[in-house]
Structure 1
Amino acid sequence: MLRNLFYVILFVGIVIRPQVAYAQKSLEETPQQKVLYMAKGAKIILHGNSNAAAAYQWYKNSVKLQGETAKDIVITEEGIFNVLSFNREGCPSEMSDNIKIAFATSTDVNLSIDMQTNNAKILPGQSFDCQLSAFNKSITDASGVIVSLKISGKFLYQPDPLNPSIDYDQNNQLITWSLDKLNAGSKKTITLNIKAKQPGQLDLLADIRGSQQDPEMGNNTKRLLQQIDALNIPNVFTPNGDGVNDTFAIPGLESFAESEITIANRAGANVFIKKNYKNDWSGENLPEGTYFYLLRIKDNEGSWQVYKSYITLLRSKL
């Protein structure tokens, strides 16, 4: 038997500036019934797609539609639709999944959210921009729109006091962006600056809701994982007074609660010991060569991490 695949092209059929707005969906078989909403007076074209099919038969509410044997069918009414396909020998496929067509009321909206960050990977103590974009893809103005961003992990965020539409609940790690109105077919964007506190991942979950009914909830959330790398400790520095790389500097070290560093020469003698290291060791009065360090850092949860490796001191330029 043929296995029938089914996909849908949805034409909203509303004139906006003055073009016909449309959205397209591609569906394969699913055990769940798909629901599509359209405005009255609009049309939806359902398109049957089955390998080696020679003919089709469309059904509405489990009743055969006489004369509807083409791949495409134009829908202008509510109902539950599905289709069979037939090969050249007349053998039928399995019945496709149901597609339910329903009229959207004039007060329904279709809100969606998008989220992007500008850095794939950052270090503790570094910041990244998180851009939130709110869309109203419907023909109706949306009111009472709330965009929320829930962040799981260790981070710092300072709300902009000049932007009263942004609220930050530090206890629940929740940032809320309030929009009084989001016009039909429009988009609004805001950029938040977030600072990472320790290695690991930040789990960012954005959500959009409005005061009106939103029949299409599948695009109301967006999740991203922001990678926070461990310390990127250099293995060479050049204290030659040129103002570049003159100290053993460890980016992101300042974001940790405490640190301790011990540096030894090849003979095992300690040449530098410091608590709460300030990235200021220049190897003064020491010869060029390889030195070995033991770095302990304490995160904001009270846990200690240990880094052990070597650092090469070169006074000539690289």
Structure 2
Amino acid sequence: MTTIVNKYFFYFLFLALPLTNSVKAQIVIGTPSLSFSQICANSSFNTFNVTFSFSPVAGLNSANQFIVELSDPNGSFTSPTVVFTSGAGTVTVSPATLTFPVPTTTAGEKYRLRIRSTSPAAISPNSIAFSAYYKAQDTPFSINNFIATATYCSGGSYVLTIDNPGIGSNDSPLKYPSLTYNWFKEPSLTPIATGQSLSVNQPGKYYVETNYGSCTSDSYSNRVTVNEATSSAPTTITSSLGNPFCSSSGATTLTTSAGNSYQWYKNNVAISGATSQTYATNQIGAYSVAVNFGSCVANAAINLQNYQFTSSINVPDTNTISPDETLAVIVTTSASNPDYKWYLNGAIIPDATGNTYDVKSKGSYKVVITQTTGCGTSSEFPFTVNATVDPNSFPDVVNIPNLISPNDDGINDTWIIPQEYISGTNTEVLLLSSQGEIVLKTNDYQNNWPENKLDFKNVNQVYYYIITTQDKKVKKGSITVLK
């Protein structure tokens, strides 16, 4: 009997020893605890923490590794993604915290994490669900090359498309194949479509965002206002520098709605070669454009004006002063930090730099006001000053002479006409060359022609005069100039 007992006792020990070793080789991993409510990663930030407990600590083998696994976007671990693996035997204390990144293709609302050990093999329960997105593109981008407006014909449609790559330094999200998109029509915040383009057949303001779920992002497009056009419904024209614009800053770009073809006009005259969606100009005027949308043509117009400050002058265009009289000319202006330049007979008057000038002699004057701060635009006021003349100071002749000899001998050097036609009578004196060129035109003739030496092309040149009095009486004839 003792022999039988001993036999079964040793048999029990033989079975129990492997069972004891098997128990020691098992651990239990608790549900992972997340240090975040959602993951919004990008190239500048992609590190996140997960904490878990395990027991017994003594159950770990020296070769054990802890692995952090990420589910698919729906929370399934059928094909988990390993996002972190610890070094063999490096994690020996419970609870433990591991740091991991997410793949650049991460995008979804129901991700989960779990922890797996290798020695002994164990798997934790799944974590709570969380949203996670890797924002591969996180800057504004363009659709339809940043156009502000677009138009479709009644019964038709217009296609909005994410640019790839677009103009300038535009960072197109289409360069990142894993991204998806949401299209919106303001003011609604509910997406109306997904995909890389949107066919629009209703008026409104549209834009698209990269779909990063509940993560905030700067990955959104420009807004495009889409209109429905008919042959009687005008489209629009915008000026890049505003209207009025500062022409001294360069040309402004006129832009109309996107269509199939275009023709620009200025003052109702077609501009040759102006057949693009934009037209650059630094000239003011009435501009219009005809936009062909395929089955309809719409028109738009803009009265483009130059930016101007307001100015005024206190004298009329024509003035008369006596020899001992002074004409005080005053300019007022709203120009910012104005600069003043005064001219007499086309030559600048030195030291005349203020908004006032005292005129003491006859001549053709001009003052130019220039705004030196902001838009550097100018305005000018021309005016004429005549001097009163005593008719008795001129020789009194009865007839209009038809012969002069400007040779500085003091006899017939200038063309002297009767006093009823000279300065002070408001008589127009017009002299024409034999080729019909105007050589003198004045209402203030002072018996002083020619003031300068004539360029003789013939021995005796012939000129023709037309004298028109204030009461419209006309005298005509010829003058022969002897060399």
Q: TM-score w.r.t. structure 2 length?
A: 0.24
The answer to which structure, 1 or 2, has the higher relative contact order (CA under 8 A, 6+ apart) is 1
Bigger fraction of residues in helix: 2
Larger Rg: 2
Q: TM-score w.r.t. structure 1 length?
A: 0.33
